[in-house]
Amino acid sequence: MIIKLKSLILSFVPPALTGLLAFLSANGNFDIYKNLRLPPFAPPPVLFRWVWTALYIIMGVTFYLLSRCDSRRSKKASLYLYLSLPVNVLWVAIFFGLQNFTLAVFVLIILWLLVFLSAIYSSTCGRRVWLTYVPYLIWLSFAAYLNVGVACLN
């Protein structure tokens, strides 16, 4: 497969902007995590920035691979993945900005469903594309566990 550099670079713009907007939407409240009662297996706060950086990079790769796949289902996969981006920002704003942990659970469920639907529709593009969703879905599932735990304990 020949890599189209311009398309590759542009594929990283939506996830990079999402990361920036998510960071800004937290209103500087990322430190609240340290003061919450957390469920078992909650990771240290420093892990989140590394995981999300990796996930945003993987999203860029996913957008690029989807752009190279010419099928109607890949267009739906892209649409669901694009729709997940503002929901991602919304979750950060609700969890960290508003500190409404219960509402954040419901937003996270919507986010998980959008990413899952995108993964399902991407299946016609090959295993390589589908596999890019695996880390994101695993992390969102773990985040849901943490979010439910935080909502119950705080």
pLDDT of residue 12: 97
Residue 153 has pLDDT above 80, yes or no: yes
Q: Checking phi first, is residue 41 left (phi over 0); if not, alpha (psi -120 to 50) or beta?
A: left
Residue 1 has pLDDT above 80, yes or no: no
CA atoms within 13 Å, Cβ hemisphere of 123 = 5
Q: Check if the beta carbon of residue 78 is closer than 8 Å to that of residue 63.
A: yes
Q: What angle do CA 119, 95, 84 make, to 5 degrees?
A: 20
- The full set of domains in the chain, from first to last, is 5-29+39-153 (1.20.1260)
What's the pTM? Answer: 0.94
Q: How confident is the model at residue 59 (pLDDT cuts 50, 70, 90)?
A: very high
